[in-house]
Chains A and B, each alone.
Chain A
């Protein structure tokens, strides 16, 4: 019997009330593992454009890559379809699961589609055209939006930078209860593993590995290798018990969505883009705590917004001034009745700062007090001793700026899954080979 290479893509199997595409993927891995497949990769958790409105939470899709015989695929395909029907919450009308299978190598066209899905919006019809053209086995429910993510997950084979995430899940009937992840155990894990793991704790030692919603994820540990995240998990304790776990290879924390510099003129709604320009209007703090300023490039001007949860980052933004040369990392927020198209800030690079100057009247040579203007063209006079200086001129004083050039990001708690955190700025696993460890999921 000949073994073939298969890629299964899964997306949109979640809903706001619970359930999760990665959790469902772990059920599929359990099923496939009982069918003697040869795994070619860890399950790939592919985060797609975080700015699109269709997402439930973090816009993640999953690809499973393995070798198997055709008979196996024929056997499991209807089972997976049945599992999807059983798993989804049919009372929530915006769950639109998609499941796609690609045989053999991933076609270039699907790889390109996947690159687009990282930073653009993709209509369902485009995914359906691609599926039809390549005659792919697929299954979908609802409006079929899940086909977009399923195809995009298959197309991203993580050939560039990648990281790992160890995701643990609780039992589905326990999702309304508190997870109870132990803070001290996370602090200890973070201390022992050092820079091999990241984004576990914020600057006040609040844990970031525990979600807050009613989904089955108990906690997730992000790191540089599968061995690192598996070791890290051995330190973490929680009140709720781990029902299952799985290691994913992922594009999280790689900044893969922000690879395009876009002119303001060419921006489109929901795009993830880097826009380079000069600050054109001073930042203004609105009620509610968000800060707005505008930038200008050679083609146009656009407003940029930093929101209240970005805290310290918002303080940096507040200190920008007209003329500063910057690049903003942003997603494009469509216009509404109250505002035009704007950029929601995910990061800020300050390239250069404009000079902040303050003009001062001259000092009185007699009593050293700052003089006042004596009227237009009449020079200056001292109000203390009465000294007059008809030739005196104002002097320019340079004021030290409160910010310096560099890259600034919101706090970890406000970052996108795809954002490359500062702790990973000099890390890159691109080209690094990885071997599947003996045990990377249970069950």
Chain B
């Protein structure tokens, strides 16, 4: 089926005429699914890189478990090590 954006919140599906746009992913979300302090939707708030907070994460670090973006994690086979754990290991 063709997915088209509707007038409802992209996260919870609630009808809200006062939707806000997430500055990271562009999603239109209702007030309950929007973090006003940083302009992010709940999804991006949870998925952002813990080191730079500028980009969304690609995976969780296999050592500390925190989410990191492609620039702050090194992939080796199936595992990812964040820059912080990599440097502390050295």
Which B residues are in CB contact (< 8 Å) with A123? 11, 33, 42-43, 45-46
Task: Name the contact of A334 in the complex, choosing from B1, B12, B56 (C-beta under 8 A).
Answer: B56
**Would A16 and B62 count as touching, CB distance under 8 A?**
yes
Which A residues are in CB contact (< 8 Å) with B60? 53-54, 56, 94
Listed stretches A97-105, A265-273, A369-377; interface member: A265-273
Task: Name the contact of B56 in the complex, choosing from A53, A56, A266 (C-beta under 8 A).
Answer: A53
- Chain A to chain B contacts (Cβ below 8 Å), 5 pairs: A112-B13, A126-B11, A129-B12, A269-B47, A270-B43
**Would A93 and B65 count as touching, CB distance under 8 A?**
yes
Q: How many A-B residue pairs have CB under 8 A?
A: 95
Listed stretches A217-225, A335-343, A358-366; interface member: A335-343
Which A residues are in CB contact (< 8 Å) with B69? 334, 336-337
Write the nearest CB–CB distance from A144 to chain B, whole angstroms.
11
User: What is B's interface to A at a CB cutoff of 8 Å?
Assistant: 1-5, 10-13, 24-27, 33, 42-47, 55-62, 64-67, 69-71, 78-79
Q: Mark A94-121, 1 if CB is under 8 A from B, else 0.
A: 1100000000000000001000000001
Given A334-B55, A336-B55: A124 in contact with B11 (beta carbons within 8 A): no
Listed stretches A255-263, A384-392, A419-427; interface member: A255-263
Inter-chain CA distance A218–B56, complex, in Å, is 34
**Would B2 and A268 count as touching, CB distance under 8 A?**
no
Inter-chain CA distance A266–B2, complex, in Å, is 11
Inter-chain CA distance A124–B12, complex, in Å, is 12
How many residues of chain A get a CB closer than 8 Å to chain B's CBs? 35
Given A16-B62, A268-B25, A333-B58: A259 in contact with B1 (beta carbons within 8 A): yes
Which A residues are in CB contact (< 8 Å) with B67? 53-54
Interface residues of A in 314-352 (CB under 8 A from B): 333-338
Task: Name the contact of A261 in the complex, choosing from B1, B26, B42, B43 (C-beta under 8 A).
Answer: B1
A270 and chain B: residue at smallest CB distance: B47
Given A53-B57, A123-B46: A269 in contact with B25 (beta carbons within 8 A): yes
Write the nearest CB–CB distance from B49 to chain A, whole angstroms.
9
**Would B46 and A335 count as touching, CB distance under 8 A?**
no
Which B residues are in CB contact (< 8 Å) with A434? none
Task: Flag whether A194 is at the interface (Cβ < 8 A).
Answer: no
Task: Name the contact of B26 in the complex, choosing from A262, A263, A268, A270 (C-beta under 8 A).
Answer: A268
Write the nearest CB–CB distance from A140 to chain B, whole angstroms.
15
Inter-chain CA distance A16–B64, complex, in Å, is 11
User: What is A's interface to B at a CB cutoff of 8 Å?
Assistant: 16, 52-54, 56-57, 92-95, 112, 121-126, 129, 213, 259-263, 266, 268-270, 273, 333-338
**Would A92 and B65 count as touching, CB distance under 8 A?**
yes
Task: Name the contact of B3 in the complex, choosing from A56, A124, A273 (C-beta under 8 A).
Answer: A273
Write the nearest CB–CB distance from A192 to chain B, whole angstroms.
32
Given A53-B58, A334-B58: A94 in contact with B27 (beta carbons within 8 A): no
Inter-chain CA distance A326–B60, complex, in Å, is 33
**Would A93 and B55 count as touching, CB distance under 8 A?**
no
**Would A266 and B4 count as touching, CB distance under 8 A?**
yes
Inter-chain CA distance A72–B61, complex, in Å, is 39
**Would A269 and B56 count as touching, CB distance under 8 A?**
yes
A129 and chain B: residue at smallest CB distance: B12
Q: Which of B10, B42, B43 has the most CB of A within 10 A?
A: B43
